Amino acid sequence: MKGQPGEIVKPQASIADKYAELLAVDKHDIQNGRLYAFIDQWMGTPYKFGGLDKDGIDCSGFALLLEQQVYGINIPRVTSQQVTVIKRKYEEDLKEGDLVFFDFDGKQFSHVGVYLQNGYLVHASSTKGVMIIKLHSAGMYKYFSRAGSIIEQPVVSSQVDN
């Protein structure tokens, strides 16, 4: 991926075209080249609980790596802790990179995805691997729980005074 984490770089034309079509937006709306290159590299990677590599990844691991490598933001590893570092937003206020949480199997905040634009998000599906879906798809929206932007965490010094 071009650039550094947190830097917005222009996407390759092929990436812009591909994701503009997938998200039903104009190709000029695809501006974060690092984000869409990252998604492109991971698309189709199978789901594996606890996984954190191309052999298999889970939803919270995917969100963790995306936030680190695209935005330069560190978040907790597990979904139940990731939800504690967001500032809640209304659905219509979501922006690229915001976290979207779902309650599956009666468990609060058991799944996480990353919002893209135009009502779409990317996530590691337990049955289909890394994929892009519409938030309002029938199988997902009924489990939608909370969403928001990541609160920048203060850097805590590990130095101990004697």
Catalytic residues: 59, 111, 123
Contact present, 2 and 8 (Cβ < 8 Å): no
Q: Is 121 exposed, middle or buried (0-12, 13-18, 19+ CB in 10 A)?
A: buried
What dihedral angle (degrees, nearest 10) is formed by the CA atoms of 106, 111, 112, 116?
-90
Residue 110 has phi, psi (to 5 degrees) of -90, -5
